[in-house]
Amino acid sequence: MARAYLIDLYDTLVRSDWDRWRAELSTGAGISLETLDRAFHDTRAPRNTGEYRDIHDSTRAIVLAAGLPDDPEIVRWWVAMDEQFMEDGVELYEDSLPTVRALRERGDRAVLVSNCGHDTRLLVERLDLEREFDAVILSFELGYRKPDAAIYEAAMLAVEARPDQSLFVDDQVAYCDGARALAIDTRLMIRDGANPPEGIAPFTNGHRVIGALDALLDRA
């Protein structure tokens, strides 16, 4: 039976040099890392659900949340830093595309499901992920983010799959919990060296753990 694999992006499919970027933003903007992290945290929900019109508006929200002046030059600099980070600060794990391709070649379907903002669309286009997946679901475009049921339902609908035909992979326990609440099978991804802004899962909450994406090729 064909299966639908709903696969997270950051720290599941791709790794990022998050600490380097944080340091460069902190130094360039003249703010502490703590202030920067708080600004990202305080704006994450609206950025992830598309409340801002574009990357400039969402960046302006971060700038203001960090207590910086409402200065178009600061926003333009920050956007340029973000765009550059999406160009050279994020890369695919070695097993990501080979696994997705193998899943699709055997007749299964693959859906990218990411909590993200406007900048992630740049990454999706650079890596040509629309071609690699049967569907791409980005939270800021949908208006819902994990663990809201609507984002899992949208992913399944995109490939006409039922929960009992689906498997969800993510590095965050809460997002796996959201999938399990819909009777979707789950895998908690904990990769060596991953450094997600939301932190490494401190417990599994009963989700089966995998350390690499190619573990999905085992149907067990």
The pLDDT tens digits of the residues spanning 141-176 come to: 999 999 999 999 999 999 999 999 999 999 999 999
Q: Measured on CA atoms in the order 191, 192, 197, 200, is the torsion positive or negative?
A: positive
Question: What pLDDT does residue 202 have?
Answer: 74
Q: Measured on CA atoms in the order 49, 51, 54, 59, is the torsion positive or negative?
A: negative
Say how far apart CA 174 and CA 199 lie, in whole Å.
Answer: 12
Question: What pLDDT does residue 168 have?
Answer: 98
Listed in sequence order, the DSSP H helices in the chain are 18-29, 33-48, 55-65, 72-88, 96-105, 119-126, 129-132, 139-142, 149-158, 173-180
pTM of the complete model: 0.94
The pLDDT tens digits of the residues spanning 35-52 come to: 999 999 999 999 999 999
The pLDDT tens digits of the residues spanning 180-212 come to: 999 999 999 998 876 666 666 678 999 999 999
Question: What pLDDT does residue 206 have?
Answer: 93
Q: What percent of the chain is predicted at pLDDT more than 90?
A: 90
Question: What pLDDT does residue 203 have?
Answer: 81
Residue 220 has pLDDT above 60, yes or no: no
Contact 198, 34 (CB under 8 A): no
The pLDDT tens digits of the residues spanning 75-120 come to: 999 999 999 999 999 999 999 999 999 999 999 999 999 999 999 9
What are the φ/ψ torsions at residue 134 (nearest 5 degrees)?
-70, -25
Centroid of chain to Cα 156 = 17
Centroid of chain to Cα 160 = 22
